[in-house]
Chains A and B, each alone.
Chain A
Amino acid sequence: MSLLTITHLKVHFPTQDGMVKAIDTIDLEIANSERLGLIGETGCGKTVLGMSIIRLLQPSTKIEGEIWYKGKDLLKLSEGEMRKIRGKEIAMILQNPTTSLNPVLKVGDQIAEAIQLHQGLDKRAAREKAVEMLESVKIPSPDKRANEYPHEFSGGMKERAMIAMGLACNPSLIIADEPTKGLDVTIKMQIVKLLKEVSRRKSMLFITHDLGVATQICDNIAVMYAGELVEYAKTEDVFKNPLHPYTQGFLNSLPNMGLKPIRGMSPSLIDLPSGCRFHPRCDHASAKCTIEHPPMVEIEKGHSVRCFLYT
């Protein structure tokens, strides 16, 4: 059964240079206990998708479509109703823990305030729970650490604290935005292991451009390109049988796969290419690809692709 269903989602930002079509159009489902990886290059709209689920985009943003969560369309909720979902039902772990933690508040207090708000605990009980959370993300001497400020934490510890903060109210869905960005390899592996552990029996949308990390955590992978999904498959199928030329190119650009970059640049989201958005960079592009926009087609069960090569 699906926990989150996104249908026909469009997210556009009006700017001075024109309308930025950050998401255009996305349909996506996340099942109960599913860990879904959202993969794509920087600037393809991954983070915007996460932010639109918990509705933290600027008020000027134009959003169309529906985001169904436990029988409610999140886009139709009032701000007050939405606040009760943020942090409690759906937690978002933002990227860049160094700037995402408040420098003048104690780490323990930053975790405890959400607990106090959503679970109605008093200050002391919330603090105790915060210490427990720090312990659960394997921060040594959590009782002492809870009283420290973010600048006293190392990069990996800050990321752990962010994860503890996200998990504090036992949410059903975790949106993790590039949680391994900027960490060195050993720390990265520890965080991956931790995320895998804490997301057990939970749903997670794991946003990353690091395919290697995604394969270790996720059940399914959705590949995003220029504001839309171009391929969706089980994690092993993405590796064994990548269908979309972009997915293939993405795999080939990985260090252990030959480090061959995809030619060209990802398109501007203001002025999207006609037809298939990937055609200017695609080696298989035909005349049809420059004119017609390919639909998402399910090739085999659980494996869909947006490409004319398969239709």
Chain B
Amino acid sequence: MHKITKIATYGIIIFVILSFNFFLPRIMPGDPFAFLTGDPSTDMPVVLDAGIKAKLLSYYGLDKPLSMQYYDYIANILHGDLGWSIYYNAPVWDVLRGSLKWTLLLVGTSTVIYMASGIMLGAVSAWKKGKRVDAGLLTFILSLSSFPSFFLGLLFIILFGVDLGLFPISGARTPFMDYSTSFEEIIDILHHLLLPAATLVIAHIGGIYLLTRNSMLNVLGEDYILTARAKGLREGYIMRRHALKNALLPISTMIALIAGFMITGTILVETVFAYPGVGRLLYEAVLVRDYPLLQGAFMIITLLIIAANLAADMIYVYLDPRVKHK
């Protein structure tokens, strides 16, 4: 029963979000062809006469009433068809697929790194509360995380990319490069990944660090920690085995929320580093009002966030035996 309600809930959520994805782009001023007709609100002086525009609109089905377009959109999604990108003149899925892997690489790597290090540092900080280690970590991480991610990204580009020339300043790999070995390719990709990933890690580590620290401090005041000490167990062992698992409970529910912020952060960072991911694609799609591509990109992001929610739910069940039997 519980599983069925859960699946139904996710189904409703997905449907509502898909509807938003359809209507939001259409609320924006302009349409995909405004940029081609030389609309005075844009600065693209391409001449497109009214007859051709009408033909184009009808070709992409944009002359139909909104309700019909909505029906087509939902029906196509159910068939796994995301539509045709107007700007790229290619299937939306093909356009998305190319950028999705880069986003997954960037978001995946940085999420793993900032989660693991944030939790670890937060736990250490709580354990050494009030001592020099704690004060140092708190000051350092909070001041670093207060930089907006795009600003930090620009600083990195200027410092490490331009001035020191240590890292490439754009892209996910060197263009037109012939790799002699796949190892060389991996190194090149990592080389491009480091700055944007570092930016994301720094931008997000503060939240998880503070959360873990507070959660650990709460847990350390619990009676069962005293019980563990009364058994003569070592402090380090008590931290790892008795405190951390309990402290992670509230954090696992936060993962879902954090995932949402992570996506917005990715849009900024991918744009700053011209990283060819879904975030940057979304940004471009907004500029040219490519409705199908926008819908597709939004949908992918939605699914990613829902997947993060699901992961959080599953982690919670794994951590807390009390929810298993309900």
Contacts and interface: CB of A to CB of B under 8 A. Distances in A.
A56 interface: yes
27 contacts: A56-B229, A56-B230, A83-B232, A83-B233, A83-B234, A84-B232, A99-B224, A100-B223, A100-B224, A100-B227, A101-B227, A102-B242, A102-B246, A103-B224, A103-B246, A103-B322, A104-B245, A104-B246, A104-B319, A104-B320, A105-B241, A105-B242, A113-B241, A114-B232, A114-B233, A151-B322, A165-B227
Interface string B210-253: 00000000000011101111111110000001100110010000
Contacts of B231: 86-87, 113-114, 117, 165
B319 to A, nearest CB: 7
B321 interface: yes
Interface residues of B, number: 21
Contacts of A103: 224, 246, 320-322
Interface of A: 54, 56, 83-88, 91-92, 94, 96, 99-105, 110, 113-114, 117-118, 149, 151, 162, 165
Given A83-B234, A149-B321, A151-B321, A102 B228 contact: yes
A118 B245 CA distance: 23
Interface in B269-326: 319-322
Contacts of B223: 94, 96, 99-100
B192 to A, nearest CB: 41
B222 to A, nearest CB: 7
A91 B233 CA distance: 12
Interface of B: 222-224, 226-234, 241-242, 245-246, 249, 319-322
Contacts, number: 71
Contacts of A87: 230-233
A118 B231 CA distance: 9
- Give the interface SS of chain B, mostly helix, strand, loop or mixed: helix
A84 B234 CA distance: 10
Given A104-B320, A104-B321, A151-B322, A99 B222 contact: yes
- 8 tightest A-B CB contacts, nearest first: A86-B232, A87-B232, A87-B231, A99-B223, A114-B231, A102-B224, A149-B321, A100-B223
Contacts of B227: 94, 100-102, 110, 162, 165
B228 A118 contact: no
A70 to B, nearest CB: 16
Contacts of A91: 230
B319 A118 contact: no
